[in-house]
Structure 1
Amino acid sequence: MTLEQFTRDEGQVARQYEYDDAVIMAVDFGTDETDASVDVVDNTVIVVLEDDQYEIELPDTVGDAHTFIKNGVLTVELEEEL
Structure 2
Amino acid sequence: MNIEHLARDDGQMVRQYEYDDESVLAVDFGPQDADASVDVVDDTVIVVVGDEQQEFDLPENTASAQAFMQNGVLTIELEEEDTV
The TM-score with structure 1 as length reference comes to 0.93
Query: Number of residue pairs matched?
Result: 82
Query: Structure 2: how far apart are the matches of 1:28 and 1:52?
Result: 16
Identical columns (%) = 59
Query: Structure 2: how far apart are the matches of 1:33 and 1:78?
Result: 23
Q: Secondary structure at the match of 1:5?
A: helix
Query: Structure 2: how far apart are the matches of 1:35 and 1:73?
Result: 10
Query: Structure 2: how far apart are the matches of 1:16 and 1:65?
Result: 14
Matched, 1:39 2:39: yes
Shift of 1:36: 0.9
Please tell me the root mean square deviation across aligned C-alpha atoms, in Å.
0.9
Structure 1 moving runs of 4+ over 4 Å:
none
Query: Structure 2: how far apart are the matches of 1:2 and 1:36?
Result: 18
Shift of 1:35: 2.2
The TM-score with structure 2 as length reference comes to 0.91
CA offsets, 1:11-60, max 9 Å, x none? Answer: 11111111111010000000111221101111110100001111111111
Matched, 1:28 2:28: yes
Paired residue for 2:64?
Answer: 64
Q: Gaps (5+ residues) in structure 1?
A: none
Query: Structure 2: how far apart are the matches of 1:11 and 1:54?
Result: 15
